[in-house]
Every structure is written in C-alpha cells, then in structure tokens.
Amino acid sequence: MAGGRFTASAPGRVDFLNTHQDYKGLPVVPVAINLRTYVDVLGRSELFEVKSEALCAEGLECVDRFPPTNPPLVEGRWWGNYLRAVVRAVEEYLGKPLPEGFRAVVRSEVPVGSGLSSSAALEVSFLKAIDYYFNLGLGKKELAELAFQAENRIAGIPCGRLDQYASAYGGVILLKPRPPVEVEELEPGSLRFVVVDSGIRHSVADIHPKRQEEINRGLRALMEDPSVPPGLKRLLGYRYDEPRWEELSLEDLQPYLDRLDEASRKRILFTLLMQASTSRAVGILRRKGWKPRELAPEVNYQHELLRDLYEVSLPELERIRDAMLRSGALAAKISGAGMGGSLLALTEGGEEEVVGSALREGGKKAWILVPDEGARIDRVDG
C-alpha cells in the first residue's frame, strides 16, 4: 500500500458528439476538459472517511464514513453512494474486500449538475486513488469500466459509459460502448471550447429514464405491428439498447414511424439522425489537418436535434446559445443530458467575447477550455 499523502484526479468532460446515444450502444465522442476533481488522500483508516470540501462550504452534510467491505448504499440521493458503489465494484473485481480504508478530502472544479460529468469525475478520481493506494495496477479501460459498473449497475443510475470512459482516458475519444467496448483515441487538433453553466440544475436520473421509456414504447409498437416486415423487426427490439441502430435505414423505417405517438416517433427519429450526423463528423476528425470550422455545421445540427426531437432544451438555454453564436462562436450545443446544465461553444478565437455574451444573457459561470489528460496521480508527499 502507498505510504504518505497523495492526490489523485480525473477530468470532467464535454459531451461533444452523439449526445444521448451511449446508453443505446451507439458510438459517441466525448472530450475531457481541464476542469478536474481531486481526491487528497491524507492517511490510513479502518473505514473510508471522505469529506466533500464543496458541500462543507455550503453548510450541508459533507462527510461520509463507510466500511471497506461491501458498504451499503444510503437511501436517497446521498453523494457518498458514488464512492460506496466504487468500493463495491472494486471488491467484485478483486474477488475479495479491500483490507482497510483511508481518510480523504474531495475538492472539485467540476460543477455538480452542470452537464460536465461531475459524478464520473468523482468516481474515476476516487477509483484512481484506490488503485494507487492499494497498488492494484488498473489500466485506463479497467478504471473506466469499474466506474461505469459502480454508477450504472450498483448505484442504479441509468447512465451509459460515455462519462466514465472520457474521464479515465482523457483527450478526445471515439467510444463504442456496446460490449466488447472499443476506444479509439483521436487527435484533439486545435479544439477549444467556451463552456457555460446555465445554473439550471438537473439530474440524469430524471431525464434518461423518461426518454428511454418513450423509445421503448415506440419499439414495442413497431414490433407488434403486423405490417412491419420481419427483416426490419430483426434489426429492432423492445428496449432502447436492443436495436442495431447503425444498420437501420431511415428510408425503410419512416413509413412506420408516422403510426407512433408523437414522443416515440421523435425519439426514434432523433436516434437515427444523430447517429448519421456523428458518422459524418468522425470522418472529419480522422482527416489530417482538420479544422474546427469544418465540424461546426454538424455541431449546430446536433443541438437542433436535441432541441426539436429529444426536447431537452429550455428557453433559457436557447437565449444563451443564440448570444454565443451572435458573438462569434462557430457552433454551440447542449453538453450533457440537457434540461439545464451546460452549453459548449466551438470556437476559433474570440473566446472572451463569447464568454461575455453568455454571461450577459444569463449564464452563471463560463470557462475557456481545452482537452485535458485522463485520470492521474498529481502529487505524492512522503
């Protein structure tokens, strides 16, 4: 086990391309950003004793203590459940419990509920601390997958793999989340973003299940429709993550979509159009010498799909977005689940003007961001 004090960290991320698609098994392109969550490990303890610096500053309950062996989850939205779930995921992976805990302080630059993946940054940084403290030798993919299993399966939050893989790997990646998971690390080029926190808080647990059920309802109707050809049904399924979305043709499916209820029709149409847009954008990212300006039409189009067909935008977000575009941003879209959270603007200079316009239009905080590396050990003392 590691002696002395040390700090582990992991980045937040912007949800760059193919938002709301990872939980359907479709490839996504996240970008890790230079806003990070830090876990300062202070020393040994029989229990895990973890303090959230931000929650303490707000006068909220900010300390969690739990055993290193199969820690129980707390009812409700207790922040420490993310950490407890990580410890349980590690115990499952090792086939035995951890021998002890440690004392730690969590401090974060990633705002909670802002669409920048604060939960994954917390999970991955805490997991990196466990990895270093107990000398487990976990690679990037193991860090990412264990963090995903902790949040999705153990904590029961219906997320996809996008956030945890972005935080563990860092940089710009093409993630194919359907097992066996594949990751292609892409060149970041000259990517720069202005990210604006709208200040409107949301929860993935409130958004994802609703959209998933709307897709499920439409899929059930298609599967039970006797006029849908058997060959088409073989590409479909009853759950949002069952269809072979990349093989489905909108031309073939369009006649049957009009028979669905409006919400289900929009969600399925969104899925197909968003995937086609991402395929075009990835083709640009793979070209040598690509420029951010080339990506702008697809980024704007993807926001429009999120707004019009997935209906996760709000008037407040649209006003901030319009202001950023007027002030010189190449493109702007929702980052994350939507219904609040953050917007990202793709820029090629003039970032200060974009920041100013967003804040004047109601944004609470803004950053000029670049791609950052993944989970790491930042500091070791003694």
Considering the domain 5-187 in this protein, what is its CATH number? 3.30.230.10
Question: Which string of b and e fits 32-45 if b means at least 16 CB within 10 Å?
Answer: bbebbbbbbbeeee
Instruction: Quote the CA–CA distance of 178 and 191 in Å, as a whole number.
Output: 27
Distance of CA 7 to the CA centre of its chain: 23
Least confident of 145-159, 192-206, 319-333: 192-206
**Is it the case that residue 62 has pLDDT exceeding 90?**
yes
pLDDT tens digits for range 114-124: 778 899 999 99
Residue 30, both tokens: 């996240």
pLDDT tens digits for range 252-282: 999 999 999 999 999 999 999 999 999 999 9
Instruction: Quote the CA–CA distance of 127 and 316 in Å, as a whole number.
Output: 36
Q: What are phi and psi of 66, to 5 degrees?
A: -155, 155
Task: Report the interhelical angle of 351-360 vs 315-326 (nearest 10°).
Answer: 150
Contact 84, 66 (CB under 8 A): yes
**Is it the case that residue 160 has pLDDT exceeding 90?**
no
According to the model, what pLDDT value does residue 205 have? Answer: 65
Instruction: Quote the CA–CA distance of 374 and 172 in Å, as a whole number.
Output: 10
Percent of the chain with pLDDT over 90: 85
According to the model, what pLDDT value does residue 170 have? Answer: 97
**How many CA atoms within 13 Å lie on the side-chain side of 328?**
13
Helix, coil or strand: residue 257: helix
Residue (of 131, 130, 166, 160) closest to 148 by Cα position: 160
CA distances from 120 to 82, 124, 160, 337 (A): 9, 6, 11, 14
> Which position has the higher pLDDT, 5 or 202?
5
Average pLDDT, the chain: 94
Domain ranges, ordered by start, for the chain: 5-187, 204-369
Instruction: Quote the CA–CA distance of 245 and 248 in Å, as a whole number.
Output: 5
pLDDT tens digits for range 213-260: 999 999 999 999 999 999 999 999 999 999 999 999 999 999 999 999
Instruction: Quote the CA–CA distance of 193 and 369 in Å, as a whole number.
Output: 5
Instruction: Quote the CA–CA distance of 195 and 284 in Å, as a whole number.
Output: 22
Considering the domain 204-369 in this protein, what is its CATH number? 3.30.70.890
Alpha helices by DSSP H, listed for 226-364, are 230-233, 250-257, 262-285, 292-308, 315-326, 351-360
Least confident of 1-5, 181-185, 225-229, 356-360: 1-5
CA distances from 230 to 3, 151, 224, 367 (A): 62, 36, 11, 50
**pLDDT band at residue 204 using 50, 70 and 90 as cut-offs:** low
**pLDDT band at residue 86 using 50, 70 and 90 as cut-offs:** very high
Contact 295, 331 (CB under 8 A): yes
Instruction: Quote the CA–CA distance of 176 and 65 in Å, as a whole number.
Output: 36
Contact 29, 15 (CB under 8 A): no
